Structure formats: C-alpha cells, structure tokens
Amino acid sequence: MTNFDTQYQQAIRTIVEEGVDVPNPWSGRTVRSVPGMTLRLDLEKGFPVLTLRKIPIQLFVAEQIWFLMGAHEPSWLQQFTPIWDEFVEEDGTIAAAYGYRWRHHFGRDQIDLMLKDLAANPMSRHGVIITWDPAGDGLGPDMKKNLPCPYTFTVNIIGGRLNLHNIIRSNDMMLGCPHDTAGFALLAMIFAQKLGVRPGVYTQSISHAHVYDNHLPQAEELITRTNAHPELQLVLPENSYERAVAGDVELVREITERITSHYYPDPAIKGMKITVNMY
C-alpha cells in the first residue's frame, strides 16, 4: 500500500479498536474518538491521495484553488462542487471561508506575506497562517453556519524543501481526513512551485480524530482492505499559484486530469453521509 494508505488505515484501526464513544448532542450522533493523531507524509515520495477507496478528485482540487482566490462567496466553486453551499449565510457569503480568512479577514494577506517572507528569507520560521478568529469563533455556541476545522498551518523551508504542518481541531476521519490531506498537500506543492523549491513533508495533526457511529461499518470494511497500488507522482502545471489566484477554471481540470490519469483506487465505500456539526 502507499505510505498514506498505510498511515490512514492504521489511524482508522486505532479509532475503531481503541476509541472512546462520545455522544454528540449537537449532531444527534455518537462519535468514536481518539485525541492527538498525526500523519506525516513526504510529498517527494508520493502525492497522498487515498487508494483504499475511491474519493472525488476534482472536489479537493477546486476547493484549494478557491481558497487561494480568497473568496468568501461560493459562486466560482459551485461550478465544480456544492460542498460549501449549506454554510452560506443570509448575505450570500460564507463567514469562515478559509481562503477569505487567509487573504482578507485579518486586515492583511497572510498568504502573500508568507510567500514574500520565505522568498526573501528561506530560513524564516514566521510562516504561520491563521484561519480561526479568536474575536468571534467558538468557545461556546456560535451563530455562524461554519467554523474552521483546519484552523492554522505553518510553512517553512528546510534543506531546500517546503514543508507544511496543518493543525485540525476536529476531523471526520472517514470523509474529511482524506479530503483535507490531499487538499492541503496540493496547497503545499503549489507553494513549493511558486518559491522554486522542492516539495517537502506534509504533516497533519488532528486534535480530535473521530469516526461517526453511522460510518463504523464502512470503517471496519476499510481496515480489512489491502492493495498494491504504487505511489502517485504529481507534477503541477506551470504557474499554478498565479493561475489559482486568478481563478483559472482550466487549472482545476488540468490538475484533476494529472491525478486521475494515474489514480487506480479500490472501489468506493458507499453509504457515508456528511454530518454537519458546529462542534
């Protein structure tokens, strides 16, 4: 199995076999939970797209490009996926849209400043991007329809390779984790290309890793699967960062095609529905 498949399958196995069942009154479901899980993946050895089951490739590609656009209304993204539609507020925007938080919400463009800082000083350890707004997010009931789950990430360059460490407060491991892993790994590769360095290590640390009770049969199926799929190598189209910022729809199709043309996953595991949960 690929490195990501191996680490991910072990994470699911740990949750199924060792996790604690916690009732969730906000969603009406129970989650089986484990604290403090970490996945560590070398992007030069392979792009971490799950092959233990089929996942939708275009979805995470389009989402990351939308993030880099810095938008907080979903019209551009809707041509590819309706994934954020249920989080649209009455004014037509998404209050906690990640890209908008990165590029506008705090009064400065964190992404632009991070890239400029690392270009000028590759040894910098100041590449901290914040999504969570402590002035109004969480710490009790929240009236917004969405709160950031990946709430901060850091970017640094070590040995000529760009590394991204993503910290997630809460992760639906059957549906959210493979999506977030591939998406933020793609983001790291776009940053590396922009800065003219090699991709490095993508680390995903999860404070509250869980499987919903209605996903446990699928989780049990997944941990029995084995395959011999090779690591997938992704080479980005030129100028991916600039094209993403400009909202180039062809970039979504090009990256999706470069992945799907070498993507041979096991069959989909059906019957999993997203649970919307403000906590």
Which residues contact residue 132 at a Cβ distance below 8 angstroms, ignoring those fewer than 6 apart?
138, 147, 148, 151, 152, 169
CA dihedral over 38, 175, 16, 148, signed as positive or negative:
positive
pLDDT above 60: residue 103: yes
Give the pLDDT score at 142.
78
- Judged against a pLDDT cut of 70, whether residue 278 lies above it is answered with no
Catalytic residue among 62, 149, 188, 222: 149
pLDDT at 274: 80
177 is catalytic: no
- Assess whether pLDDT exceeds 60 at residue 101: yes
Q: What is the spatial distance between Cα 97 and Cα 93, in angstroms, rounded to a whole number?
A: 8
| Amino acid 144: pLDDT | 87
In this structure, are residues 81 and 50 in contact, taking their beta carbons and an 8 Å threshold?
no
pLDDT value at 279 more than 80 = no
Closest CA to 177 of 30, 1, 48, 2: 48
CA angle 139, 142, 145 (to 5 degrees): 135
Q: What angle do CA 257, 274, 129 make, to 5 degrees?
A: 65
Tell me the mean pLDDT in the region 137-142. Answer: 86
Of the candidates 11, 3, 78, 12, the residue with the CA atom closest to the CA atom of residue 272: 12
Domain 3-260 CATH superfamily: Thymidylate synthase/dCMP hydroxymethylase domain (3.30.572.10)
pLDDT at 141 over 90: no
List all residues 6 or more positions away from 83 whose beta carbon is below 8 Å from its beta carbon. Answer: 59, 63, 77
Position 114 scores a pLDDT of: 98
| R_g over Cα of the chain | 18
pLDDT tens, position by position, 158-209: 999 999 999 999 999 999 999 999 999 999 999 999 999 999 999 999 999 9
Domain boundaries, the chain: 3-260
For the segment 244-250, the average pLDDT, to the nearest whole number, is 98
Structure tokens at 24: 């969730």
The structure's pTM equals 0.96
